[in-house]
Amino acid sequence: MARNQYVSSALVAVVALAVGFLLAGQVKAQLLTPSNQVARNQALVHSVMDLEHTNDSDRKQIASLRAQIDALEAEAAGRSDTTRALQNQVADLRAHAGLTAMHGPGVKVGLTSGSPDADPTGQARYLVTFQDVEDLVNLLFAAGAEGVAVSGRRITPLSSFSGSEGEVVIDQGPPLFSPIQVLAVGDRNRMETALDDPNLLPSLRVRQLQFGLGVKVMGAPDVSLPAYDASLEIPHVGPA
């Protein structure tokens, strides 16, 4: 009987001890879990801070690259503007030099010789001369012409005029005879005003009255001029 009580007491003690260890393990686990959670939270905080630092560095690098790109684009745009300006200047120079065809508002002037019967001087003053054409061309340029052509021959700053009675030679080209058509592109109003001025082209106007030279002026909204004919260049002659 006493022995049974002893065994029972021992068994109860063992069970109590086992339960105690179990409860102690659970309590320990519960006590360690918050510590592990804090560690994980701290690790997450460090990760977030590292990412923020990396993002801030990347943002600064991106801003620097954008600034460099903006500077390069501005430089390229400046170069493009300069290039376009130079191209426009070259185009203007080529046009004024007669090297390219051009069109625009302008005037058309027709010159025709007068009647031989009306000229008793014996000097053939009724004929259109190269001086008449040269004077007319110079007047047109002075009055705002940007380009001039004489019977299809484009005039350049180096063009020369020559000839004898009734013929006009321009830049070593074949002689031209009446009727002669002079086309000019430029300030139409100024050119028409100059051509209507009785004080200009005095020799031509006097012979127009005395010998019947024909001078017909007509404004036009669009006049076309050919490019200079390079075949009219003087052969075997170069700059001094």
Q: How confident is the model over 3-27, as pLDDT tens digits? A: 555 545 555 454 555 545 454 555 4
At position 97, the amino acid (one-letter code) is A
Residue 91 burial (CB count, 10 A)? 13
> Is the predicted pLDDT of residue 163 greater than 60, yes or no?
yes
Rounded distance between C-alpha atoms, residue 109 and residue 133, angstroms: 10
- Percent of the chain's residues with pLDDT above 90: 44
| Chain mean pLDDT for the chain | 79
What tokens does 32 get?
């360690």
Rounded distance between C-alpha atoms, residue 35 and residue 39, angstroms: 6
pTM of the model: 0.61
Range among 48-52, 90-94, 98-102 rated most confident: 98-102
Among the listed residues 171, 182, 185, 198, the one whose alpha carbon sits nearest the alpha carbon of residue 111:
182
> Is the predicted pLDDT of residue 60 greater than 60, yes or no?
yes
> Is the predicted pLDDT of residue 218 greater than 90, yes or no?
yes
CB 152 within 8 A of CB 226: yes
- Percent of the chain's residues with pLDDT above 70: 69
What's the mean pLDDT in 183-208? Answer: 94
Q: Which residues touch 193 (CB under 8 Å, ≥6 apart)? A: 143
Q: What distances in angstroms separate CA 227 from CA 90, 140, 154, one per listed residue? A: 15, 18, 6
Q: Looking at residue 119, what is its pLDDT? A: 78
Name the residue with higher pLDDT: 162 or 88: 162
Q: If pLDDT is split at 50, 70 and 90, which confidence band does 37 have?
A: low
